[in-house]
């Protein structure tokens, strides 16, 4: 219930955050001398949309009623006209749902959904409205089952970069770049996936770099993007005022569409011989190059070089695919993430992780910003020697 009342943004994607303006709880009086055990909570909240310039805020009353093992929650939009209800909210006067106990042993309950329509048939007449209630049933059922089996979420977002800071930057870049490049994409790949995903990654990186840059220091960090692919991430970072370049084995058609100051290089990269002076080494779904990112950062001629790698397909340092086996409660992907984290620690980095808000299941960013004490050159040399002499192709 808390997800629906205190964090509407987890349920309604266009909502950025939920502001609880008031919360009161009241034990209802007894009836004819009998304590009914009825507790009512009244919450007044405001839903703040992500697109603040286009979508309106919505004030809403939420009433939660609990009686023994039964719970019912009702949502009432505070509007004077139906036209004031934003698109992201059900077009209804009120709606509610609840779990009503159906036996004396509290072992069974019935899910009830009640809707008061704005007009007869309006809440179910359209395909959009029908999908709203179908999604509601699916989510409630899913959460009920996972709660019963004791499910606990394994990933935590917004650990390194705060949610509000990230979303503000994301919407800024999205408004600035998304429409132009989705419409003008010349690659065969899906522009909506790659454009929005790289905007999300660029937003997170920019927040990270702003966080790590001293306000008195005007020297912005430089970067290299290994296995840069379509180069859109390099384009975004360069357009936002940062200096760096991307490397990939083959040029892409879209490269010719970028401004001339976007530095993209088509070359075969031998990671065990590659040295850079960049402050940040980036590996965004860089396939065979992914495990080399912390090693290359450790070998950088920049004394304070850092790295971020978002791994995808599992490859070892020789470039071969790793035959990983999933363990109970741990996927192949997370085993591979741990493998790269281990490489990072052997190179002397204090390793951090962040689950990014990107449209991909491969969304873990592994980060190395600080070093441990000691000389790790022998470890780095051994890692390089353990790879084959075959150049890795990206």
Phi, psi of 310 (to 5 degrees): -115, 95
Spatial distance between the Cα atoms of 63 and 114, rounded to a whole number of angstroms: 14
Distance CA 248, CA 257 (A): 17
Q: How confident is the model at residue 390 (pLDDT cuts 50, 70, 90)?
A: very low
Instruction: Please choose, from the candidates 282, 287, 240, the residue with its C-alpha nearest in 3D space to the C-alpha of residue 261.
Output: 240
**100: helix, coil or strand?**
strand
Provide, rounded to the nearest whole percent, the portion of the chain with pLDDT above 70: 86
Contacts for 81 with CB less than 8 Å, ≥ 6 apart = none
* Under 8 Å between Cβ of 337 and 364: yes
Q: Could you count the other beta carbons within 10 Å of the beta carbon of residue 258?
A: 18
Question: Is the pLDDT confidence value at 34 over 50?
Answer: no
Q: Residue 209: CB partners within 8 Å, gap ≥ 6?
A: 220, 221, 242, 280
Three-class HEC string of 182-214:
HHCCCCCCCHHHHHHHHHHHHHHHHHHHHHHCC
What is the reported pLDDT for 206? Answer: 97
Q: What is the pLDDT of residue 376?
A: 87
For the record, the structure tokens of 175 come out as 């408004």
Phi and psi, residue 247, nearest 5°: -125, 135
Give the C-alpha separation, 284 to 233, whole Å.
9
What do you get for the CA distance between the two ends of the chain, in Å?
47
204: alpha, beta or left? (left if phi > 0; alpha if psi -120 to 50): alpha
Per-residue pLDDT for 160 more than 90? yes
Over range 287-315, report the average pLDDT.
Answer: 93
Give helix then strand counts, H and E, for the chain. Answer: 9, 13
For the segment 85-96, what is each residue's pLDDT rounded down to a tens digit?
898 888 888 888
pLDDT averaged over the chain?
Answer: 85
Q: In what order do the strands lie in the sheet with 223-226?
A: 263-266, 244-248, 223-226, 280-284, 306-310, 364-371, 349-355
23: tokens are 């919360």
Tell me, what's the pLDDT at 393? 38
pLDDT tens, 313-339? 999 998 899 988 887 768 899 999 999
Burial class (CB in 10 A: 0-12, 13-18, 19+), 106: exposed
Q: What pLDDT was estimated at residue 154?
A: 61
What pLDDT is recorded for position 392? Answer: 45
217: confidence class by pLDDT, cuts 50, 70, 90:
low
Question: What are 224-256's pLDDT values in tens digits?
Answer: 999 999 999 999 999 999 999 999 999 999 999
CB atoms within 10 A of CB 335: 15
Rounded distance between C-alpha atoms, residue 185 and residue 50, angstroms = 25
Q: What are phi and psi of 328, to 5 degrees?
A: -65, 120
Which backbone phi and psi does 142 adopt, to 5 degrees? -60, -45
């Amino acid at each position: 219930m808390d997800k629906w009342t205190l964090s509407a943004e987890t349920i309604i994607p266009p909502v950025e955050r939920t502001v609880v303006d008031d919360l009161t709880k009241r034990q209802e009086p007894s009836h004819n001398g009998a304590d009914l055990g009825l507790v009512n909570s009244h919450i007044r909240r405001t839903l703040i949309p992500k697109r603040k310039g286009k979508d309106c805020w919505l004030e809403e009353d939420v009433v939660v009623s609990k009686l023994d093992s039964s719970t019912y929650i009702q949502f009432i939009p505070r509007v004077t006209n139906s036209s004031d209800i934003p698109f992201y909210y059900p077009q209804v006067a009120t709606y509610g749902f609840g779990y009503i106990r159906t036996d004396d042993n509290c072992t069974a309950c019935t899910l009830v959904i009640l809707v008061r329509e704005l007009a007869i048939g309006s809440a179910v007449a359209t395909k959009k409205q029908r999908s709203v209630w179908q999604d509601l049933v699916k989510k409630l059922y899913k959460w009920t089952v996972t709660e019963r089996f004791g499910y606990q979420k394994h990933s935590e977002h917004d650990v390194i970069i705060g949610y509000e800071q990230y979303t503000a930057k994301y919407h800024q870049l999205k408004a600035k770049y998304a429409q132009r490049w989705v419409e003008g994409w010349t690659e065969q790949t899906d522009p909506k996936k790659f454009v929005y995903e790289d905007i999300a990654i660029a937003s997170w990186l920019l927040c990270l770099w702003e966080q790590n840059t001293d306000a008195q220091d005007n020297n912005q960090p430089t970067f290299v993007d290994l296995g840069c692919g379509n180069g859109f991430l390099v384009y975004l970072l360069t357009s936002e005022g940062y200096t760096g370049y991307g490397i990939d084995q083959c040029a892409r058609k879209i490269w010719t569409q970028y401004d001339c100051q976007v530095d993209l290089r088509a070359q075969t990269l031998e990671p065990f011989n590659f040295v850079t002076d960049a402050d940040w080494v980036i590996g965004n779904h860089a396939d065979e190059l992914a495990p080399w990112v912390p090693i290359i950062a450790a070998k950088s001629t920049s004394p304070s070089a850092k790295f971020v790698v978002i791994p995808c397909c599992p490859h070892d340092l020789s470039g071969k695919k790793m035959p990983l086996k999933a363990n109970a409660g741990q996927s192949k992907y997370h085993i591979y993430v741990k493998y790269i984290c281990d490489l990072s620690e052997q190179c002397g980095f204090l390793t951090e992780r962040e689950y990014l808000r990107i449209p991909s299941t491969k969304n873990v960013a592994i980060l190395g910003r600080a070093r441990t004490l000691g000389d790790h050159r022998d470890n780095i040399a051994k890692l390089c020697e353990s790879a084959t002499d075959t150049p890795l192709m990206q």
